[in-house]
Each structure stands twice: as structure tokens, then as C-alpha cells.
Structure 1
Amino acid sequence: MDATFVIIGGGIAGISCAESIAFLEPSETIILITASPLIKAVTNIVPLGKLITQFDVEEHSMKSLIDMYPSIKVVHDTVTQVNKDSKSISTESGKTITYKKLCICTGARSKLICENNSRVMGIRDTESAEALVNKLKDAKRVAVIGNGGIATEVVHEVRGVEVMWIIKDKHISATFVDPGAAEFFQDRLLKKEPLEKKEPMKRMKYTITSGRSNKGGPALGPDWHDQLKLAGSNALPTSVKIEYESEVIKILNASEVPNNNEEWPMYIELNNGKIIGCDIIVSATGVIPNSNIIGLETLNKGNDDGFTVDWKLETSEKDIYAAGDVCSANWEIAQHWFQMRLWTQAHQMGRYAAKSMVYSFKNEEFMQDFCFELFTHVTKFFGYKVVLLGLYNGQKLNNDYEILLRVTKGHEYVKIILQNGKMQGAVLIGETDLEEMCENLILDQLDLSSYGEDLLNPEIDIEDYFD
């Protein structure tokens, strides 16, 4: 088998890449190699600004992709080796596929705190999410380790079990939000605060003087839990207990726990000396790029083990590209962008890799995509819409910035990052309708000093100033 373009991986990056190549160069052959019988397709794309998009991720059959794009051929197989000299790929079933341009979109796998333990689970793809659903049916207590997006969603969605949330930070959801936003979420987490519209209760401005900014298979995508019932079978009230600034030292069995008054299938020992029993551990402490591909050992990798790519998303080997979680950005990064392994960037990178491969194949010049000028991410935490823009937690600013804050308890949380009077980032929680305005102000770098706190005054329609 041979094709002009070959993509390895049926996740968000891989499918976005294949679809975009088929659109840009429909006359050329495309082969998509995926180990999964289902593919991840981005659907219902809603633009919220120039670069901000909200979308769904759905699982589709391979046939649906082929029906829509006749130039794409899907090979349901596992890659065993890539020979970069002969530009050929070997698969588990014995196929040999040759390419002119190759894009690696193999994603990342969960970083587990303990390997080879059936009660320690990472959630990265549909299969692992469904496995958690089955495990929860007989569970009374679940320990969730980690403080990023997956951990946050699991803690919020799980019902009918006791949840022990182990985090190394001083506040919840630290990967994405600051202590103020974490406090805003806390009421929803504790099931005390309904989502209702209220008038703004407080608006404040302050300057950061210390502290530090935070930062398997195909990723699940937004709203992954909507189709899953994350509930125990026991008629237990849901409760969440949080262990702050804690890390797991080791996993114990019952015989290793002295003075044990409770009997659990497993225990975790924390660095604060506490020992906690549980039925299941959800390990959500990050991901590891799936870059261990035989034949590609000589490709340059970053400290995170991802294949380093230049501004064209090309690896250190000519004609081999990488996109999504498996790659590590290694070009001169724009001021208001940085890499995070999120479905948003997987989609953006997949589409851009397609453009890069097609233009390179045609020997045509092109510019880097504008999406790499501004970090954007739209998601949902604790039932709230969350939009993150630019340096939303003051990343790269060395604590030299001001914050404008507007909070309406149970309704919205708006945080604006300013440096020298210019907007550098924003966190928008709830239905704020400020996405496009903030995006424009970050990109345009207008001096907003004259507006002062009126920038977030709910009595003033500030958007009228910037139309």
C-alpha cells in the first residue's frame, strides 16, 4: 500500500489532520492508521471569536469518515515500526505502507502512580472511562489523585460514593484556575450553591506580589462524561473531602496498615502521614506522549518526551510531522501562547499540520497559522462554561501584573490580567459574553489604563468601546 499522506492515530489531532488534507488536496491519497475501530471527530464547531472555538468531540465509525472523504482510506491496525529511510510503515497484521509525508498523531497516555494494579485507573480515552463506570458500581470510596481537568471533572461528576481528592496544591483545579476561581467553584463542589443569576457582589483590583503561576489513547474531549453514569450502586450520599498540599508516597494493602479499624481493598499513604482506604484510585496526574515508536528513536524529543517540532510542525526528520499530545513545540513561541496538552490544541495542530504537509508537498510557501498567536481553551468545570485566554494565570509575566476581578457568586467569575495597562490574559467562568472583547484586546494590545475598573463595571457596556 502507498499514499501521498499517511497519518498515524485516530484521535482528535489525527482525524483533524486527515480531514483537512482531504479538503485542501482531495486528489491525493491519504491513509489513516488507527488501532481503534472508532475515531474521534470534532463536530458542532461554534466560533466565539477570531480564534476561540467551542466544539463537541464525538466517536464515529471509520465508515463515516470514508463516506465523507473518498480520498481517505482507513487502516484498522497497529504500527510496529517506521522506516524513515525507505519512508515505509510496518503494521501488526503484516502490511507495509509507504508515504511521502507522514504525520504522527499517537496522542499520550495517562501517567499512573502505580502500574499493573487493576484498582488504579487512568482516564484518557473512552475505554478507560467506561472501565471506571464499571468499577464504580461496587465502590463506596474513590481516591482521585491530581488537580487538572480530568480530576476536576471526575470529582464533580461522581455520584453515590465518597470521594477523597488528593491534590499537591493549595487550591482545587490549580492547572487552570487561581485560588479565587477555586473558591468560586467550591460551593458547587460541595453541592451548596445552585446556578442562578445574581447581581455582581464584588469587584476588586489587586497586584500580584508573590507566588507562582501554575500551569493511552486519544483524548476524550469536552463533555466526555455526559454519556456516562459515574455512580456507585450504593445509596450513599456523595461527599467530597480534599487533602490539600498532599502527595501519595505509596500504595498499601490491609496487612501493611497498623491499627486498622476499617477494611478496604487498598490504602494510600500520604506525605502528611495520613493513610486512606479506598476501593479505586483514579490517577489523573498528567500524561506521557506516546512517542516510543520503533524506527523513530533518533528523532529529537523534548524534556516531556514529545517529538520536538518546528513552526511547521515538522520533526527533526524531514517529511515526518507530529501534532497533538505527542509533539513538543520547539519554535519561537508567541507572547500570548504556550503549549498545553488539550483537545483544543490537538484540533488546531491537526488542522495546521495538514496545511503544512500539503503546502510542503506542493512546494508552496505559507505562513504559520494565527491560532498560535493566542492561547485559547473552552471547557466546562462544575457545570460552568470556562474560557481561558492568553496568559490567563499570569504565565510568563514574572508576577509583574495586575488583576481586575468581577465575581457574581453562583453566576460568573471574570478575571482580567493586565500588565502596563494592556490585557495579557483572561479567565471567564459562566455566561459572561466577554470572550470576543477580551480576545481582541489581548491581540490588539491597546492601552486600557484610562478605563480603570470600569473595564469590568457591569453598569457599563464596555464592549461598545471596542466594536
Structure 2
Amino acid sequence: MLSSQIPSADVALITAGPHIKAVTNYKQVSRTLEEFDVEEQPSSVLEEKFPNLTIIHSAVKSLHTKSHCVETADGRVFGYKKLCICSGARPKLLTQDNPYVLGIRDTDSAQEFQKRLSKAKRIVIVGNGGIALELVYEVEGCEVIWAVKDKAIGNTFFDAGAAQFLIPSLEADKPQAAAPCKRPRYTTEEAAPGGSHTFTADRSSQAYGHGPTDSGSALGPDWHEGIALRGAEQVSRRVSVEYQCEVEKIFTSEVLHKSPQQTLRTECGDWPVYVRLTNAKTFGCDFVVSATGVVPNTEPFLQGNTFVVADDGGLQVDDHMMTSEPDVYAAGDVCTACWEQSPLWQQMRLWTQARQMGWYAGRCMAAHSLSEPVELDFCFELFSHITKFFNYKVVLLGKFNGQGLGPDHELLVRCTKGQEYVKVVLSGGRMVGAVLIGETDLEETFENLILNQMDLTPYGEELLNPDIDIEDYFD
């Protein structure tokens, strides 16, 4: 955005990885909804597109806001007039130093996961967010114990009703993938069994997930497409969900040898690692996947500077994506939106918002450099997100889970088993949120109804009557 807005300016992108993540197959679905793929490409693609752009391959060692310069890990120093920090977030691992605990965040860690999974008979997945949801559905040939701290799966994205709608998909056989992966992978490895390729970002970096300066960028939507997530067993899929529990302790078989809990070996079998949950159950497994969320990756920018940091650890930004330090902006997972927000929008650390924030931050930086005014972008008016879970299209709009609403809001639900789940959130007779699972074709209509804030009281439950063509009615 910067390079295209100010073609005369020198723009530099400092990145630790040799590749960049590019948005491809972009499609504007409605006024605020957008769909796209994320593709890993060589950074030369960007340099060829923008002659005023230089890409610097190195991790950042320190930032000196007073002297307006950045020092990279290889000892170089770069001055700046304006700087945007887009360092994302890093996995919040259950434990940092256990070789049997994996976090999945970037291409390297996904490859490590694939490698270990190919020899595994049972794994434990801990977490209830997007990566956990994708993993439990995609992993085959391996028993999966899924530990979630909530009463229902997918608590971040939907309510217990939607969770119940999706659960049968875990028990059914997975449909055959229709198309090969759309994204090229950079690999130096041979094809994995079954013809799929393992992939790597072709670099020797630190061990994944063990430091704030890891060089890998976050995985894109549908990151698991085109890689074989298959274990060592012949079963297609076996998932057991353990609700309302967290990990109490993780211990290895060596520790078990020396402990008085020797009986666990006979109860749980002989495994490399054991996980004790807070519901008093213990499971042996080949390894543990920690998918318990992320923390903003603010290191090493805080040292020696006076950034105002939000409660969730992100750099506070105003409605022009500016931090508390002069000429320093931030966008994506590393920042926390601290402006007075629209009643229909909330920040969630998702790919769609990272793209929107980056795009808008570029516009703000350019406008400020040219002393031009800039208004808050319309994408911050209404929260909207399209994704896919358990092979269903999922659309989330506005306060889709009743976030921050008082007890007076009401829900309308329509559910056709195995086909669609539609939930509408109404407050004061006006639509303020919606969850659409399946091919409902209601996203644009509902988006308009939420934005227009039309009084829907006269329609009552007829609003979701499947015999009424609601799209035509409100066209």
C-alpha cells in the first residue's frame, strides 16, 4: 500500500524469512466481507512489482524510537521517517522447553508437525480456537484426544448450538478433497507418502516456537490444504473430546519410571509422553499440540522505548494505527485497537483483520507524509469474517456471539441437520450479529440489515422462515 501510495518514497520491508505471504484470489463478497488465499512467494515478486521497495532479510534486534532507527540481527542500522510494526503474534505454548509439545504457527512448525504425525498413533490437542478446530478435522490415521476448556467446541467463533451442529462431522468420514492445493510451496524435500509434499521455508532458523524473534510468518487460511496430515494408523479419524478441562501436568515416560505413579503405565499404555488433565484423566500419547492462542510479538520493540501496551499485551494504536511513539504505527496481531470502536465491530486476531489493518496503516502513513486528511476505513464499521470449519463455509457478522450485549438481546436460530445453521442476534428489534454455517446465501442480506439497523420487530420469527425468500424480500 505504501509503495503504491507514494511511488517517489523509499520503502523498505524488514523480514526475517526469505519469502513473503501474498494475498491471492482476492474476492470482495459484499461490502465488508472478503475472501482470499494466502500464498508463500519469493520476495523478489514484490520488488519487481514496486521499484521503490527494498526487502531486507534479517530479524530485528532493537528499535530506537528517539533516534528513528532500527537495528537488525546482522548488525545493520536503518533510519526511518515512519515505521510500521507488523510482527504479528507468537504461540502461547503450554510449556516452552518440552520437546514433546508442539506449537503450530508458521511453515516450519507445520512441517515439523507433519513429520511427527506420520509416525504417531495418538496425539493430544489442547485448545479451542481456529488451529485446533482445523487440526481435529484434518488429521487422519491417528487417534486424537481433544482437550477444550469450554463447555462446547469452537467457543471463540460460535455458540453451543453451532457446536452441536458441527460435532457429527467429526464422526463422519471426511469427504475427498476436490482440488489440489492452490498455493505453491518451497521445498527441498522429497514427496511424502501418498504423493503430497512436505514443505519448508528453506531456511535454518531457530527451533520453532522457542523465542520471540522466530522468523516464520503466520500460516494463512486453509494452511493444511495440500499437505498430508496422516498418522501411522489405518483408521480414518478417531476424535475424543474432553470438555471443560485444562492441562494440569505433562510428564515423560522417564519421569514416570522414577515416580510412584508407575500404575499409570499399565492404565495408559507405554507412551513417550503423558498428559494429566484437570478432570483427573491421564492420557499417554506420542506428542502434544499446544493450540492455546497467541500473544502479541512485541519483543524486541519495547526495550528502551515508552510504548503504551494494552492489557492483552498488544501495542496500543489510535484510529490512525499510530502507537504512542512518534512516527511509529502498528498493524495486525501485534497491535490492540484502542479507539472508540463501532458498536458492531470488535478486534479478533485473524488474517482478514491483519490485511485490513495493514492496508489502512499504509494509507494513514502515506496521508500523514503528504499532510492529507484520512478517515477511519469502513471495514472497521462491521466485524465480518469468512472461514471454513469441518468442510462448512462459516460466516461471522457483527456481534455474532452477543459480545458485550446486555441480557435483553434475543436469538433466532434455524438449523437443518448436515446442511445449514443460521443464527441471528437481535437487540432492541434490530439485527446486530449473525452466524451462518453452510451455503446459506444470506450473508449479503444480513450484512445490509445489520448496517441499516432496520427495525425487524414486525417480522419476528418469520425472519428465518425457510419458505420466505428473504434475499428478495429485503433486496
TM-score (norm 2): 0.88
In the comparison of the two structures, how many residue pairs are matched? Answer: 428
When structure 1 is superposed on structure 2, of 163-172 and 248-257 the one drifting more is 248-257
Residue from 379, 391, 404 that aligns with 2:399: 391
Deviations along 1:174-208, one digit per CA (max 9) or x if unpaired, are: 1111111101111101116979xxxxxxxxxxxxx
1:253 paired residue number: 252
- Structure 1's 237 and 51: CA in aligned 2 closer, same or farther, altered over 3 A? closer
Cα distance in 2 for partners of 1:401, 1:189 equals 31
Measure how far apart 1:350 and its partner are: 0.4
1:268 paired residue number: 275
Task: Note the 1:383-462 alignment, pairs <5 A.
Answer: 383-462=391-470
Task: Note the 1:32-111 alignment, pairs <5 A.
Answer: 32-111=13-92
Cα distance in 1 for partners of 2:225, 2:51 equals 32
- Conservation of the 8 A alpha-carbon contact between 1:392 and 1:426: yes
When structure 1 is superposed on structure 2, of 383-392 and 116-125 the one drifting more is 116-125
Residue from 154, 162, 175 that aligns with 2:156: 175
Deviations along 1:25-80, one digit per CA (max 9) or x if unpaired, are: 22211100000011111111111110100111110110111111222111111111
List gaps (5 residues or longer) in structure 1. 1-19, 196-215
What letter is aligned with 1:378?
I
Say yes or no: does 1:362 pair with 2:370: yes
Say yes or no: does 1:160 pair with 2:141: yes
Cα distance in 2 for partners of 1:45, 1:114 equals 37
1:346 paired residue number: 354
Q: Sequence identity, in percent?
A: 51
Cα distance in 2 for partners of 1:227, 1:64 equals 23
- Conservation of the 8 A alpha-carbon contact between 1:252 and 1:267: yes
Cα distance in 2 for partners of 1:153, 1:193 equals 12
Deviations along 1:341-364, one digit per CA (max 9) or x if unpaired, are: 110110010000001100011111
What letter is aligned with 1:344?
T
Say yes or no: does 1:293 pair with 2:300: yes
What letter is aligned with 2:100?
R
Cα distance in 1 for partners of 2:462, 2:27 equals 29
Cα distance in 1 for partners of 2:46, 2:337 equals 29
**SS in structure 2 at match of 1:225:** coil
- Conservation of the 8 A alpha-carbon contact between 1:437 and 1:466: yes
- Conservation of the 8 A alpha-carbon contact between 1:104 and 1:323: yes
Task: Note the 1:120-269 alignment, pairs <5 A.
Answer: 120-191=101-172, 217-254=216-253, 255=256, 256=259, 257-259=261-263, 260-261=265-266, 262-269=269-276
Measure how far apart 1:227 and its partner are: 2.0
- Conservation of the 8 A alpha-carbon contact between 1:329 and 1:339: yes
What letter is aligned with 1:306?
G
2:210 paired residue number: none
2:6 paired residue number: 25
Measure how far apart 1:398 and its partner are: 2.4
- Conservation of the 8 A alpha-carbon contact between 1:108 and 1:218: no
What letter is aligned with 2:87?
T
TM-score (norm 1): 0.89
Task: Note the 1:300-319 alignment, pairs <5 A.
Answer: 300-319=308-327
What letter is aligned with 2:124?
A
